[in-house]
Structures are given as C-alpha cells and as structure tokens.
Amino acid sequence: MAAPWVLGCSLLLCLATFQGAECAIGVNYGMVANNLPAPEQVISMYKAKNINYVRLFHPDTSVLNALRGSGIGVVLGTLNEDLQRLASDPSYAASWVATNVQPFAGAVQFRYINAGNEVIPGDAAAQVLPAMQNLESALRSAGVTGVPVTTAVATSVLGTSYPPSQGAFSEAAAPVMAPIVSYLSSKGAPLLVNVYPYFAYSGSGGQVALGYALLSSDASAASSSSVTDGGVVYTNMFDAIVDATHAAVEKAGVQGLELVVSETGWPSGGGGDGATVENAAAYNNNVVRHVGGGTPRRPGKAVETYLFAMFNENGKAEGVEQHFGLFQPDMSEVYHVDFTAASS
C-alpha cells in the first residue's frame, strides 16, 4: 500500500562519484511557452545565478549553441515520440547523435542523455531499454565518450513506497525496470527520478504535514510528522521518496545504483492546495541546502538534483502547472533561490 506522501506523484548536492563533479544543483529549462527570453539570455542567467547544471527535455539547436563554452553541465532528453524509432532503428539513433550531440560535444559539457521521460509504466515502456542501448552504441561509434545514457521515471514506477525500506517497483513497472537498472549498473550510469512531494501533499487530503513536505527545519514540525523506519528517522518526504526508490532498485537485484533527482519543485500559484510563493520559496531553498547531506539510506552521499523549472510556462495546462518557475518570462524572480547555499 502506498503511503500518503507518494500518492499523486505520477508526474522531478555535491556529486562526488560522477564525472568528478563538485556541487551539482541544476534547473530544468522547460520551453512550453511562447514568451520566453532568447536562449543566450537564459544561459547567461544560469551563469549569473550560479546554476551549474541544466536539463533540456529535447534537443534545441539554438539552446545547444548558446551552451557552447558555458561550462554548464547538460542533461539532454529525447522526445517521447522518438522512442519507437530510437528503439527499432539503430541508424536513426546514429542520426540523432550525429545531429544533436556530435556537433556540440567538444564545446558543450553533456552530462547524461535520457531516453524518454516518465513513460514507465505505459505503452512506450518496452521501447526505453533498446532506445538506450542504440543511443549508447551510437555515441560510442561517434567517438563521444563519458556521456551515460539513462531514462527519467516518475515515482509512479513504485508499487510499494511505505515505509521507505519496503519500496518496490509495481507489477506493471517491474518487468521493464529490472533490466533497465541492471543495464544502468553495468554501464556505471545513474537512474533519473522525478520527485514531487508537492503532489503527494496536495493530494493527501490533509494526511501529509506541510512541514514534512517542505523539508522544514523547524524541529517541532519535523518531530511531529517524522517517519521511523527500522530505526531510521525520516524528517522529510523528499528523502523518503528517494530512499523508497533506492529500496526498489535493490529489490530488483541491483546494489549501489546512483539516483539523480531530475525534477523536483513546488508551484507558487495556480490555485492548488499549498501553492504559494512562500511555500515554493521554502521548498526549493530547503532542497538546495539539504541534498548535499544525502539521505538516511545513503548518509553523506549527496543527491544530484534539478529544480523544476526555470520559468513559468504559459503553454502548460492551466492551474499549478503554469506556476513552477523560479523566474517570470521577463526574467524577474518569482522568488529568490540562493544557489550558492549548495556549496556551503
């Protein structure tokens, strides 16, 4: 039975072991809008705000050109609608790499390629692993090294999530996830996981304490809503979700796989329960300060984490989906996030 904190999570710091990274906190650069600044302006914002990593949901030549020489680490996604061709046609995977990676590889710091976003479980789930394999082969043939290929999943892959130590993939997801995590382990690549305490909180009918969802540092709030699991105490939902996913990976027969939180965030408006500027500012600043210390299951092992998202996007569904941005399209802050806190 899923805990209240994971209900509704079907929708996203120092990393010592991957590619020699130092403090890794990034922001998703979503572009579902018709009023965003030019890519050159956006990448300048990343640098000015001390945001060292960016996740792109699909290749965009103008953005990749703007990233040349920036020193910003890049997670590059494929479109979900391209998965079938990537999985079934190695020549298409080779063309995808030749178009979207190879021309930029010397000047853009590609961190990971993720084949698909949140398609497991589902109709396209079986295409993910062969797409990953074809992309990995294409990168190798193109002489692009040191760029792991992975996929991004929602916490809907979990069938059991509470307590965290009992985390397990669902019946629908397990047959797909088990070979994927085995493959990732064999390649030394991480699994990307989108983690949204907000949707668990807003969908819980009051069963989830706000402080627990917000990673509140208030001692009384934390103690009243903490979860004890086999002697381990969870004082926030973020850690509990990440560790439930760790447990699911281990139950699938893989030890030590890295998890990267490829999306996490909190809406600042849109009418949802708890969707306020104050809560969004608290959540994202708490995440930046917190993830360098690891989770109870992996203490001291920082969690590479990407906030969602850079801008409020007017092309998203009306409601909270349009209010996850740290900035307005005019580049003014919705609220302040101190990215320098990640390295303190």
Q: Which residues are catalytic?
A: 118, 263
Torsion angles phi and psi, residue 139, rounded to 5? -60, -45
Nearest to 168 by CA among 57, 289, 73, 250: 250
Q: At what angle do helices 174-187 and 128-141 cross, to 10 degrees?
A: 20
Pairing of strands 149-154, 191-194: parallel
Round to the nearest angstrom and report the end-to-end CA distance of the chain.
38
Distance from C-alpha of 194 to C-alpha of 127, rounded to nearest angstrom = 19
Distance from C-alpha of 286 to C-alpha of 218, rounded to nearest angstrom = 11
> Could you write out the three-class secondary structure of 50-69?
CCCEEEECCCCHHHHHHCCC
Distance from C-alpha of 218 to C-alpha of 124, rounded to nearest angstrom = 43
Amino acid sitting at position 170: S
List, in order, residues 6 or more apart from 294 with CB less than 8 Å away: 300, 301, 302, 303
List, in order, residues 6 or more apart from 226 with CB less than 8 Å away: 212, 233, 234, 235
Q: How many CB atoms are closer than 10 A to CB 186?
A: 9
The C-alpha R_g of the chain, in whole angstroms, comes to: 19
* Three-state secondary-structure class, residue 257: coil
CA 290 centroid distance within chain: 16
List, in order, residues 6 or more apart from 323 with CB less than 8 Å away: 267, 268, 269, 270, 275, 280, 312, 334
